[in-house]
Structures are given as C-alpha cells and as structure tokens.
Structure 1
C-alpha cells in the first residue's frame, strides 16, 4: 500500500538558518505518527512543510504517492487541525464544517451529508446550529476536527491540537482522538505535540526531533523501554542519564558496566563495544533502600531534596561518586528525609546502555 505521507530529506531554511535538516519520515495509511521534540526542534516546521505552508530548500514531500512539493496547500487534499481551533466566529458549527467541502466544489446535497457524518463522528451532531462562542474549548476542538474530516482527507495533520485545553479536557480529547484514529483506517495522521503523554498514548510510532534533525523513530514502547540514544532516553520520560564504561557482555542482552567505583549490569546489545557509554534509568525504576550492604546494582548517596506530588515522592539523590539522580516512588509510606544516607537499587533490565553521544537540544 502506498504511504499516505512521505518526507524525503526535507530541508527548510529561514534567513540562512536551517530549521529542518534532511528530515525523512513515512506515515502509512491508518497510522498515527507523533512528532515529538523540545521547543525549536523543528516539529511544527515539519508539519507545515507537509501542509505546504513553508517551502523546502531541498527534498521532497509526497502524499499518497503524489509529489506535492511545489503545490499550494489547497491542492494537497489534506485536513488540518491547529491548536487555536481557527473556527470562523460569524459562522455556525454546521457552516464551519461545511466550509471545506464547499470550497472544493462538493455538491450541496453531499455537503449536508458530510456535515452530519463529521459532527456525528466527534459527538457534536446536536450542536450544528450553535455559534463557536457558545461552545467550550473542548467542543470547539471537536468541531475543528470535524471540519478537517469533512473534506474526507487521506492525510490528517494535527498541530498541538490539545495544548490550549485544561488537563481534564486534554485527557478527554486524547481518548476521542484515539477513537477517531481507530475509526479511520485509511487516513494517515501526523500529530505534532510537545506532550509526551499524548504521544505515548496515541502514536503507533514516535519521531523524536532535536535541532531540526530526526534523532530516533520507533514504536512508543520501543523508544520508552529501550531508547536507542541518550537524548531520547532523557527527553522521552525524563530518564536519569549517567556516564559509564562498558566492560563487556554479562549475558545475552545484558552488559557489565562501571560507574565510578561500582560494577553494574544493565540491558544492552551483546555486541556493544567496550568503552564510553551512558546508562539510562527511569526515575520510577529506581528504589531507595537503607541497607548499605554490598550487592548487585547498588549506588550509595545522600538524599538532597524531596518533593511530595500527591501520589508520589520525587527524591533527588547525590551519588557518592558524583552526579545526581531522581527517584519517583509511591507516596504510600513515610517520606524520604533530606540529608539521609540512601542506597539506590535497580534491576539489570531496568537500566539501558545507550551511546555516549548526546544530541544538542
């Protein structure tokens, strides 16, 4: 099957500054790919390049196999949802949704049917006659999605669609977008977000960007559980990243490493060469113990700060050999105490060895 979206070595420059650098990504029909990265990483620029709002300095954009690199946005046959909703205030909900099909010359009788279908799909059928100002933020975003769907696009672009909503509405709309994704098996969806929870929840695959370049791409589970780079480990899920030396293979997919004076074991490919690397450990995979006896994967240190976060404690520990790590633990017992000695313990499969190189953010 022909991919819905293909970016091939796409490069975008602004006043001699490269903001998207040789970016290549494919989104298959029925697939939702989230583009994730820090501010200024180029993620919105990548979406705007697909939409046709920014020209490419080099590279190609293809939609459903068709080269659209030089085409204006209105000829690209796609749906677009932006964070500001961009509903026309002087039009009713139904008129907003009808705008796209009408501008494309769809027959009047077919437009009415598309409006009904699109509003029903997002649960807004009973609001057709209302004005946008009479709707909540979540309802306005549903109408914006319905408007994008009314043109029956093969490609749907979502640019930070939930960033203007409060936490409760974001959760509700995340579930709604997930439902729509499953209901649209022929539509390729490119979803730009800075929210990691949205990306992990919704995406079939995640593309991680930094400084205009694609760092990693893979399934949400693979990138989270086995990040291929230190940047992805630290950015996606805020892993602790510590410099280590790889000593060799301990057993299949487990490496023996050295952190300061301590010999540890952690997940990694058996063919990883000895030498400098980095150890990534998620905060919730570390345990704080008061037993200072020797053992496997034990790092002594001193608690320097404790934050209570309702359901958890976020504890910062200064390691004896230098460096700090963050531990996330359930708030089910007494709180750790700043100044106390502690030993951090983790299972070998909960630490991941990644290459030493960091990508600048």
Structure 2
C-alpha cells in the first residue's frame, strides 16, 4: 500500500508541475512580452535555462513552426490561430486541465471555444483592441474606428495601423456595420473600399507602437490595450478609446510544440504560469490581464483601476471575442489584405 501511495504521489508531482527539473526550455513569443523576473524565478525554481526568441505576428509564428526544425518548445498563439495549430498537428495535447494550477483559471477562460477543455493551451494574457490617440494633437471624439478608417484632418499622415490581419478586418467590418466573419459580399466590398481609401492617410503599418507613439512619430494608432497603458504611463496625453462600433477581445495562449525537445519542462512552465503570483508577474511586465483567478492581489496598483485593463461598464457590451472565420471568409480576407499591401 505504501508503495502504491508513493507511486501515486510521484505521478501527481509529475503531472502537476511540482517535480524537480533541469535542462533547457526554448520559448517562442511575441516581442517585449515576457517578464525577465518571472523567467528568472522559473529558472531558479527548476534549474532550467530559458531562451526566448521573439516574433512580431501570428502569421510569422505559424509560418516558422510549419517549417519545422525550429528548436522551440513553447509558442504563444492568439485564440484565432490556436485552432489552426491544433488542426495541423503542430502542438502536443498536454492536458493543462489536469494540472495542479488549472484550478486558478477563471471560469470564463477554462473552457474556450478555441480549445474545449483546455487540452492544449493555458492562458497567457487577454485584452482588447481599440484606438489610441495623442490628445494633445487631436481633441475631437476618438471613440470610433473612424480615427483609423475616416481619419480626421488633424491626424492625416500621422496614423499607424498594427498590421494583424484578423484584427484589422474585424475592426473594418464593425466600422461598416457588418458582423464578425460575415461572408456577405456587399459588406466585404465596403470593407475593401474603406481600407483602400483609408490607407493614404496612414503613415505606417507597424507593430512598434509603444516606442513610436512615445517618440511622437505616430499621433494615433490601432492598438492593444496593454500597449496603450504603457504609452499612457509614459505620456498621460496618450489615451485609449473603445470604438462605439464594437471592439475585439483576444487572448494569447501557451502551447507546447509537437517537435519540442524539452516537453516536461514545457509542461512545468504551463503549470507555473497558472499560479496567481506568477501570472501577476507576467501582467506587471506586459500590462495585460491574465485570466488567472487570485492574481489581482499581486497586480501592480496602477493596473487595478486602469481603464485600459478594467473595461468600463458602459462600453463592456460592445466587446466581442474574435473567432477564426471559415476558410472561405479567411480567403476573402487574405485577398483584401493582399491588395491593401500593394
């Protein structure tokens, strides 16, 4: 009986992330998104050397992993891409729902449509997509996608668009009055015409918004809320706005790659970041909410009431979690996007 109990205990340790570990872990993540302090804590706890490689978009990450031979153990795709990674067999079924710290995952994130039962993913961060404006330059109403798609004169030639295709297509579709993932040809024609007409008023389509909004190179941009918070903390005149036409919600999620060489360390990391204190440490760096219950008490004070993070009640109903559209709609999006890049 004692031997049986010992065996069970060892199995529990191995599956919940309490086991001793050593070796390496190679993480492939969005740039400027991983807390050095939390990584060091993981390294010290498990005697694991962590290496982080950055990417700039979901498309970049997916293309790289599809090639194979990356040497990465972990990646952090958004919810609109997770089904693709799963369907193409790029990730391992690590069963995070059975890990010790899964009990900390907030109910609304415990059984998402993009990974029912959380068989592959754990929450990294979640947030919103809206409009960021330097209010010293433009003092008019900014709670509209019109800042991007029908740019006011004061901002023409000063607006950036973060070039994440699904985010831009979602926003443009909402702006013209359409529904997410619509296949209505008339609506999509309006989206295409709106984007093509708007582009001459943009200065750039770049991801590097924190630095360039801070430097004044951009006066407005589409952006994610945590990025906007970092900008406001550096310059209070930079403000985040929730578009009245509707805005997208997103989540990024940690997966273990099928080709991972350090699978057990990767599982340990999945469990590790579902600990409330560790999740709060990640949020303190990247400035997004995390989907882990109990992390609030460890969060920085300036995040506990930040309007970029705590969605105001009057605009909360306007938010909608973005989904992966059908292959047919994605093909139409890609055609419009390709034309926009010319």
| Same-fold call, TM cutoff 0.5 | no
Higher percent of residues as helix:
2
